[in-house]
Amino acid sequence: MNFKIESGKGVELVLVPENFEGLNVCDETLGYLKESFSPKLGNILTILGPGKNERVFVGIGKESNLDHLRRAIFAGTKKIIEIKKDMKFSLKKVSSFEKEDVLKVLVEGALQATYKFDKYLKKDEDEDERETTVFIEGAEGLENLVEEYKNVLEGVFVTRDLVNTPANDMYPEVLANFAKEDLGNLGVNVKVLGKSEIEALNMEAFLQVARGSDKEPKFIIMEYLPVANEKPIMLVGKGLTYDAGGYAIKPAGSMASMKSDMGGSAAVIGAIHALAKNKVKKNVVGIVAACENLISGDAYKNGDIIGSMKGLTIEVVNTDAEGRLTLADALYYAATKYDGKVIVDLATLTGACIVGLGMYTTGSVSNCDENYNKIAKAFEKSGELVWRWPTFEVHREAVKGTISDLLNSVSGGGGSITAGLFLENFVEERPWVHLDIAGPAFGDSQKGYLPKGATGVPVKSLYEFVKNY
């Protein structure tokens, strides 16, 4: 998709509020709209034909907000792409928001309509791969903003592609090689540690999870450090490129989508991609412990007591609560090897988070009000949803063992909270925000501009968080 800040020929995308106010159309067209069109969010009316002003009208509903604009622009752009036309949009006709904010959601909403994951589909030789041009009126001087948000969406699409790739083609070595090539080309220093180097660091919790697979685990360190003498923001992503559950094996229906269990690591890579491509002047270090959780004669078992890089022992109550074990060593590494401003971890961690918050909301546990509030603001600005769980001492006590220091899984409910507080033991009291993206990272069906499969949540929010930190 091309964006041009100029007047041009194409189908005009017109956003229609529920009260029809502020529309720059003739009385005849306004009367027709009021009679024939219900401007509920996402509803579309198309007026095409020779000798007419070709338009696609899209409803934005009663509550006019930036996310409604984003969703309406997505729907309208998708329609214009289907009819193989170029598009034009006037910022001057959306006066209720700052011009820069409208331009951001225009670029995002339009680009969201272009995403598809079709690398495994047979190509139709007759398929028209026409590229749509979007002409934007009223955005003179804002060319850099267009480019910035194109790069942010590129980071979102990087994340989606990584997560959507099945596990036979996406395993720790492939993920590590992608990070080295993609981010290395953007000036990011990427280091990859193999099994012997991971063993030398005494990352026993991580290694125990990896034992069941013959794919070698990889520990990926991504340093984007454009500013001298500034502490970095640490981003730690869960990197289970496939999770069968280990000996607490998942049923087939639950296992089929477990290529998505590396959504946290993919979001870290996608966010750093966007930050580096836009040359954001903030230091960031990404950490990923990548492995598979499978069954073999050497796999770790329910009831095992294992060690960790920190030295704490952990009773493995459930081998399908493996993500927190890999994150334990990754977080401790981030907390002790770097003097970071804050640690943010992302993980498709618990089904309990989906039970509590549904498929579209990220659950959070944090030891720092200031940093959680910054995260929440970034989510709101990006049109993504987050909710902070309450935490009490009873939850912290629940993850303590009797024959080990910690338990990797506990009964009694509150599983998303106790999983987060298990991780708290490994951040060494540094400012920390945990994000459980089990719901929003991957969907069984399309929801607005979020496609079926990998969504890329929360790359946009991470970008805003780091940029504005």
Contact predicate 198/206, CB 8 Å: yes
Which of 329, 347, 350 lies closest to 428, judged by CA?
A: 329
Q: How far is CA 398 from CA 79, 228, 417, 420, 455, in A?
A: 52, 42, 10, 12, 33
Q: Distance from CA of residue 464 to its chain's centroid?
A: 12
How far apart CA 393 and CA 395 sit, in angstroms, is 5
Single out the residue of 332, 336, 334, 306 nearest to residue 321, CA to CA: 306
Kindly write down the DSSP assignment for every residue of 259-308, as one continuous string: GGGGHHHHHHHHHHHHHHHTT-S--EEEEEEEEEE---TTS--TT-EE--
17: preceding bond cis by omega (within 30 degrees)? no
Distance from C-alpha of 198 to C-alpha of 51, rounded to nearest angstrom: 68
**Structure tokens of 115?**
């995403």
What is the number of residues in the chain? 469
| Residue 159 CA: distances (Å) to CA of 120, 173, 201, 255 | 17, 17, 28, 20
DSSP string, 173-191: HHHHHHHHHHHHTTT-EEE
Does the active-site annotation cover 250? yes
Candidate list 324, 374, 430, 460, residue with the active-site label? 324
DSSP H helices in 53-97:
66-82
CB-facing half-sphere around the CA of 19: CA atoms within 13 A: 5
**What is the distance between the alpha carbons of residues 240 and 28, in angstroms, rounded to a whole number?**
58
Which CA distances in Å does 290 have to 182, 187, 196, 241? 17, 22, 14, 7
Instruction: Report the C-alpha gap between 416 and 353 in whole angstroms.
Output: 5
Q: Mind giving me the DSSP string for 389-413?
A: PP--HHHHHHTB-SSSSEES--SSS
Catalytic residue flag (residue 430): no
What's phi and psi for 178, nearest 5 deg? Answer: -65, -45
Candidates 180, 250, 301, 381; catalytic one = 250
Q: Which residues are catalytic?
A: 250, 324
